[in-house]
């Protein structure tokens, strides 16, 4: 590992000066940025370190733990919300989540190289190290992967390891941006804008029940219990800053909703429930259930309406479209389930005028299939592969 020179920023004044320098410098228009954070026994991720390399090559390490002992991270937030300064991430969502928690302000103007990597056939969840090795022919050091980034002082080895994540992110971005087509850039921009939807990062206990899986065939009363317990769990986890799974698992919520107990003692029979949780929270869970039973059925969530059954002819077209999607998934090393769902193909067939997909999925799948369904293109076998051919 080569030693790279860097600024080490440990005070609010240093951070403010550095941030203003980036904002004011006429030749600095983008930065590569990465974060280190800890989230092992908390609801909210806790920021440990921020690494930045600007497009002129200067590297800075921002120590939020040191700064927050006597100051604020206002300078960092000013950088994040600066519209004229592009922020380049790899796999931006987790970084955005922890940065959003600083002041509940969304970053603006981002580019995610993980999204760009899709168009270079690295897959839809390509790890940074793998992409760097393939694109830049450099194998990143992985010795500090499980390091405790909250520990202080940081060793020089830890710092250089953290710097690598932006030192190689910068040339990766430059390579990608010079080789992407305008259509690909537009698709990535659309997906980056979607990542900046504040509702992705703002806790919303009232809608927590919508994220519980395995309720497809539940009746309204059961759904109401799921929503009540999930909301209680979310509020408790936020208030005590604990992981949700420590408080109550989805499996327990599902088990309670299937056969709602009327007394605390009956909760011990729920599959996968912890006896200690029943002792600590059983009364509150029963109270949630009682409130559902006392409420009007009109207020209960309704199951999603079942879609219109697929016709034999639609099934033929879905099968044809799915074959093309499987070819795309194979060519681009994408998990088919992340690329397309049968329901999306059916929507595409039934409603030619509406968008079924967006961003990179629209470019790779929907646009080609629309041209096939409209008769502008056809699918054929060339060199043993299913290919799109325009008439």
Residue 143, burial from CB neighbour count under 10 angstroms (0-12, 13-18, 19+):
exposed
Do residues 222 and 297 make contact, with C-beta atoms less than 8 angstroms apart? Answer: no
Note the pLDDT of residue 108. Answer: 96
The confidence band for 144, taking pLDDT boundaries of 50, 70 and 90, is confident
223 closest CA partner among 293, 303, 285, 288: 303
The confidence band for 141, taking pLDDT boundaries of 50, 70 and 90, is confident
Question: Stretch 15-42: mean pLDDT, rounded?
Answer: 96
Take residue 320 and report the two structure tokens written for it: 């044809």
What pTM did the predictor assign? 0.93
| Per-residue pLDDT reduced to its tens digit, 203-262 | 999 999 999 999 989 999 999 999 999 999 999 999 999 999 999 999 999 999 999 999
- What is the distance between the terminal CA atoms of the chain, rounded to a whole angstrom? 53
Note the pLDDT of residue 143. Answer: 81
Note the pLDDT of residue 22. Answer: 98
Question: Stretch 256-274: mean pLDDT, rounded?
Answer: 95
The confidence band for 123, taking pLDDT boundaries of 50, 70 and 90, is very high
Q: Which residues of 154-189 are buried (b: 16+ CB within 10 A; e: fewer)?
A: beeebbbbbbbbbbbbbebbeebbeebeeebeebbe
Question: Stretch 284-297: mean pLDDT, rounded?
Answer: 97
| Per-residue pLDDT reduced to its tens digit, 334-386 | 999 999 999 999 999 999 888 999 999 999 999 999 999 999 999 999 999 99
In the predicted model, is pLDDT for residue 277 greater than 70? Answer: yes
| Per-residue pLDDT reduced to its tens digit, 301-345 | 999 888 899 999 999 999 999 999 999 999 999 999 999 999 999
Note the pLDDT of residue 2. Answer: 74
Q: Which residues of 322-359 are buried (b: 16+ CB within 10 A; e: fewer)?
A: bebbeebbeebebeeeebbeeebbbebbeeeeeebbeb
DSSP 199-237: GGTS--GGGGGGG--S-TT--HHHHHHHHHHHHHHHHHH
Higher local confidence (pLDDT), 391 or 252: 252
Question: Stretch 178-182: mean pLDDT, rounded?
Answer: 98
Note the pLDDT of residue 223. Answer: 97
The confidence band for 162, taking pLDDT boundaries of 50, 70 and 90, is very high
Note the pLDDT of residue 1. Answer: 58
Instruction: Write the DSSP symbol of residue 299.
Output: G
Residues 6+ apart with CB under 8 A from 383: none
The average confidence (pLDDT) of the chain is: 95
| Per-residue pLDDT reduced to its tens digit, 73-117 | 999 999 999 999 999 999 999 999 999 999 999 999 999 999 999
């Amino acid at each position: 590992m080569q030693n790279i020179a860097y600024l080490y920023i440990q005070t609010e004044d240093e951070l403010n000066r550095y941030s203003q320098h980036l904002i004011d410098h006429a030749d600095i228009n983008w930065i590569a940025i990465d974060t280190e954070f800890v989230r092992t026994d908390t609801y909210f991720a806790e920021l440990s370190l921020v690494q930045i390399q600007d497009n002129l090559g200067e590297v800075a390490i921002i120590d939020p733990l040191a700064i927050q002992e006597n100051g604020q991270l206002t300078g960092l937030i000013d950088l994040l919300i600066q519209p004229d300064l592009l922020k380049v991430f790899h796999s931006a969502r987790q970084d955005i989540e922890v940065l959003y928690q600083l002041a509940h302000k969304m970053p603006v103007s981002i580019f995610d190289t993980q999204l760009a990597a899709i168009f270079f056939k690295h897959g839809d969840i390509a790890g940074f190290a793998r992409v760097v090795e393939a694109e830049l022919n450099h194998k990143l050091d992985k010795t500090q992967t499980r390091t405790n980034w909250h520990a202080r002082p940081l060793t020089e080895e830890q710092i250089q390891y953290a710097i690598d994540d932006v030192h190689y992110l910068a040339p990766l971005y430059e390579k990608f941006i010079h080789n992407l087509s305008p259509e690909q850039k537009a698709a990535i921009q659309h997906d980056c804008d979607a990542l900046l939807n504040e509702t992705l990062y703002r806790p919303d206990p009232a809608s927590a029940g919508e994220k519980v899986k395995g309720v497809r065939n539940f009746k309204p009363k059961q759904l109401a219990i799921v929503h009540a317990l999930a909301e209680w769990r979310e509020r408790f986890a936020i208030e005590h800053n604990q992981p949700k799974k420590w408080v109550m698992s989805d499996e327990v919520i599902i088990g309670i909703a299937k056969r709602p107990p009327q007394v605390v003692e009956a909760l011990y029979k729920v599959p996968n429930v912890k006896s200690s949780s029943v002792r600590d929270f059983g009364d509150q869970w029963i109270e949630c259930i009682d409130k559902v039973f006392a409420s009007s059925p009109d207020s209960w969530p309704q199951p999603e309406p079942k879609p219109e059954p697929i016709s034999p002819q639609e099934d033929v077209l879905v099968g044809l479209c799915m074959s093309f999607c499987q070819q795309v998934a194979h060519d681009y090393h994408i998990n088919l389930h992340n690329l397309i769902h049968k329901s999306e193909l059916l929507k595409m067939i039934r409603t030619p005028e509406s968008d079924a997909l967006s961003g990179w999925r629209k470019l790779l799948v929907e646009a080609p299939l629309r041209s096939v369904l409209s008769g502008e293109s056809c699918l054929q076998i060339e060199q043993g592969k299913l290919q799109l051919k325009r008439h």
